[in-house]
Amino acid sequence: MRRALLLGLLVALAWPAGALAHARLKAEHPQFRERFEAAPARVVLRFDQAVDALANSIVVYDTRGKIVSRPARNGADPRTVLAPLQRVPRGAYTVRWHALSSDSHVVSGVYTFGVRMNAPPPTEAYGASGPTRSEDVVRWLYFAALALLVGGLGFRLLVLPRSIPEALERRFYIVTGIGAVGIIHVGIAAFIMRSEDALQLPFGRLLYGDLSPVATGTRFGQAFIAMTLGFTWVLALLFLAWLTGRRALLWPTLLLALVFASGLSLSGHSAVDSSWFTQLADWAHLSAAVLWVGGLVQLAVCVWPAAPGLRREAFLRFARLAPVLIAVLVAAGVYLSILRLPRLSDLWTAGYGQVLLVKLGLVSAALAWGAFHHLFVRPRLERTGWARRSLVGEGAVAMTILLLAAILVNAKPPDQAARRTSLVSNVSSSPSNPP
Amino acid sequence: MPPPEHVHWLFASGFLALGLFLLAEAVVGREVWRKRRWRAYLWPSTMFLMGLGMWPVMAFFTSSTLHMLAHGAWAEVMMLAGAAELGLASGKLRSPLWRLAIVLAFVVTGAALLVHEQNDWFFQRSAFLHHLLGWTFLVAAVFPLGRALRPRSAVFASGFALAFVAVAVMLYSDRDVAPVFGHLSPMAGEPHR
Amino acid sequence: MTQIATEAPRETYSRRSARAYVLSALGPVTVVAGIVWALLQPYRLTFLHPRDQGFWWLLVEPQLLVMLVGALFHFLVVPSLLEDLNEFDEEEP
């Protein structure tokens, strides 16, 4: 049985392409996010090999979901597919394409173009529903991984900047390493999920979906590229610090991680149309939060079990750092809240405000917990057996705050929602759905 | 942005360098090779850096999800294998099980090559080479495995080194502008020189 | 007995010089492979027809990369390795 399975696997690997051969898009007219002053007469796609055109191989939608293209057909060159367009007025248009390769494999893609206006990013193409709950969870995991990495590095450099026991050092590198690897993996998952939403494809067909318009044509995609590459270097530096035992290498690691964490502030949904100062405030808010949460994790997961002799010193030094972090966190948070919710009533009338209200409640609870540590636990640290559990509790509340922060980053503040009419918002009013 | 063929050739050069380092180690023996400390780090750090260099390929060449995931897998296993060997060479890692990281890298790389190539063997040159590369990695995984179990075996050490040289030759031959195997299918478009 | 005792070191010496010989040949053989490839497929050397070629096509020339790897290996790795090999041979009885 085992041999048969092994043989089957080898055969499957040897001839995976018996019935497969998929084409790739080489060129397109209109191009990704191209702006026209006069409406184009047709859409032409050129592939790297011959493809079969079906009637719906190219479908062009306007912002209301009306189809403005005629049935597609092959061009004179069997590698091209074209679809004539109706005379279209000023507006943004979404091209959804599917091509049947010679082996019956369907490759797909989506992109946008504009007539006398700028085209929206493909993530706001007609049919895309915007960030989902799964994406909120993935963004939360991203924040959590960032906290493990950045908070861990900050803790090691600012709270315990000296030689520490080997067991503690090992735990520190394990926790920060998990954070660095997690950031890269979760980032890839987030990118694929966002692309899946734009492409509107089931998983099997998503494997052959062209992601390049999302990668290069959106802020999210550009931030994904920059952050993925940046954090691979952070991971390499972290590894080098471990390998050589040089603590000084952790400084560039921390600085690089903080710089690339700004990609979240630059790519979040609420970052659109905001000033550089707002984005800076967002980055300061995020950085202070992950340093604080990651520091709590280091105290509870690394110092307490691995270095009992350092508990008091680490706790007291972290207690000196935490108020600074919390001050930055609160100041930036208040500024951003006022900016995004200009009316106080938005806090209870708008969905964004309601999530923010819950987040503020949890922040207050975490601050009270921190104050309890500061006032009651610190003087009795040597006699308190439950300090670790209490730290874990505060850390758990902080992690929940990060979840709410993830939801808020993906959500649209009410003032922006009113100001901008996105293509996404037209989905519900549309009479027809894309394939 | 370099064209894809250049990326293949640059990585081919990295694999060729790896092959030469390991061949030299196989020829002189481990004791002589490790007489200077930097040499013990030479091939693992080359592999680690190649893994680091594979990430931009994943991030910038996103013509399909499958393609992107395959490149990410190669980047990851190369970094992991390089890091494990560096850890062993420095003495930071002690368990010999870490030697299996390079075996894992071979298996994952081979499987990802075969899965990500959706065309038939003889569809075009790159398809042929992807199948060949995939099977080379899968079969050649026996060499790092043998090397992990019998570190002094010249056969396993040489086989391990020659596997990288073979991979380098295949990567140099990859892409349509390199007519080593000829243009195999009219479906792949106009033949190049 | 005497004959065996005198023959054994000669065999060892011969095996070890073969190792040094193979080691010294690795780099040059790689360079020659690049040269042969360049002669067989000169059209892949972009610098021979540089007109309208972009940066990457002028930078990445596969045959030259092969030669470069062989040369770097020969000049940067082999000399110290040969020294160590000779030293090792002398130390070994």
Please tell me the distance from the alpha carbon of residue A234 to that of residue A256, in angstroms, as a whole number.
Answer: 7
The count of residues in chain C is: 93
pLDDT tens digits for range A243-280: 999 999 999 999 999 999 988 877 765 555 567 888 88
Residue A46: beta bridge partners?
A27, A80
Does B178 sit within 8 Å of C62, measured CB to CB? yes
Is pLDDT of A41 > 70?
yes
Chain A residues with beta carbon closer than 8 angstroms to that of B65: 192, 195, 206-209, 211
Q: Give whole-number Cα distances, A271 to A30, A137, A263, A276, A432, in Å.
A: 28, 19, 10, 9, 31
Q: Please, which pLDDT band fits residue A385 given cuts at 50, 70 and 90?
A: low
Averaged confidence pLDDT in chain A: 81
Least confident of A208-217, A286-295, B72-81, B131-140: A208-217
Residue at B169 is within a domain = yes
Q: Which residue's entry shows tokens 């599917």?
A: A98
For chain A, how big is the Rg over CA atoms in Å?
26
Does B65 sit within 8 Å of A49, measured CB to CB? no
- Which among C69, C84, C85 is the nearest to B13, CB-wise? C69
Name subunits touching C (3+ CB pairs < 8 A).
B
Is pLDDT of A345 > 50?
yes
- How far from the centroid of its chain's Cα atoms is residue A41's Cα? 37
The SS3 call for residue B184 is coil
Least confident of A335-339, A386-390, B37-41, C69-73: A386-390
Is pLDDT of A428 > 50?
no
Give residue limits of the domains in chain C: 2-91
Contact B144, B104 (CB under 8 A): no
Please tell me the distance from the alpha carbon of residue A425 to that of residue A422, in angstroms, as a whole number.
Answer: 6
- Which among B60, B65, B119 is the nearest to A17, CB-wise? B119
User: What's the burial of C77, exposed, middle or buried (CB within 10 Å: 0-12/13-18/19+)?
Assistant: buried
Mean pLDDT of B140-149: 95
Least confident of A98-102, A304-308, A365-369, A423-427: A423-427
Q: Which of residues 124-163 of A touch B (CB under 8 A)?
A: none
Contact A150, A290 (CB under 8 A): yes
B91: contact with A, CB 8 A cutoff: no
Q: Please, which pLDDT band fits residue B39 given cuts at 50, 70 and 90?
A: very high
Mean pLDDT of A98-109: 72
Mean pLDDT of A376-402: 74
A69 secondary structure, DSSP code: B
Residue at B91 is within a domain = yes
Residue at B147 is within a domain = yes
Chain B residues with beta carbon closer than 8 angstroms to that of A215: 59-60, 62
Kindly tell me whether chain C and chain B come into contact, counting contact as 3+ Cβ pairs under 8 Å: yes
Chain A residues with beta carbon closer than 8 angstroms to that of B121: 15, 17
Does B28 sit within 8 Å of C19, measured CB to CB? yes
Closest CA to B78 of B52, B41, B97, B60: B52
On the question of a cis peptide bond just before residue A30, with omega within 30 degrees of 0, the verdict is yes
Residue at B54 is within a domain = yes
Give residue limits of the domains in chain A: 17-120, 133-419
Provide CATH code, domain A17-120.
2.60.40.1220
How many domains does chain B contain in total?
1
Q: Which residue's entry shows tokens 């935490």?
A: A322
Strand A42-47 with A80-84, pairing: antiparallel
Residues of B at the C interface (Cβ-Cβ below 8 Å)? 2-3, 6, 9-10, 12-13, 16-17, 20-21, 23-24, 27-28, 31-33, 35-36, 39, 42, 172, 177-179, 193
More confident residue, B119 or A114: A114
- Domain A133-419 -> CATH class: mainly alpha
Chain B residues with beta carbon closer than 8 angstroms to that of C88: 28, 31-32, 35
Kindly tell me whether chain C and chain A come into contact, counting contact as 3+ Cβ pairs under 8 Å: no
Query: What is the ipTM for the molecules in this complex?
Result: 0.90
Strand A51-52 with A91-101, pairing: antiparallel
Is pLDDT of A432 > 50?
no
Tokens of A134: 């799964």
Q: ∠ CA(A209), CA(A214), CA(A217), 5° rounding?
A: 140
Residue at B193 is within a domain = no
Q: Please, which pLDDT band fits residue C5 given cuts at 50, 70 and 90?
A: very low
Interface test with B, best of C77, C86, C89, C92 (most B CBs within 10 A): C77
Expressed as residue numbers, the domain containing B37 is 4-185
Q: Which helix (H) or strand (E) holds A60?
A: strand A58-61
pLDDT score recorded for residue A157 = 96
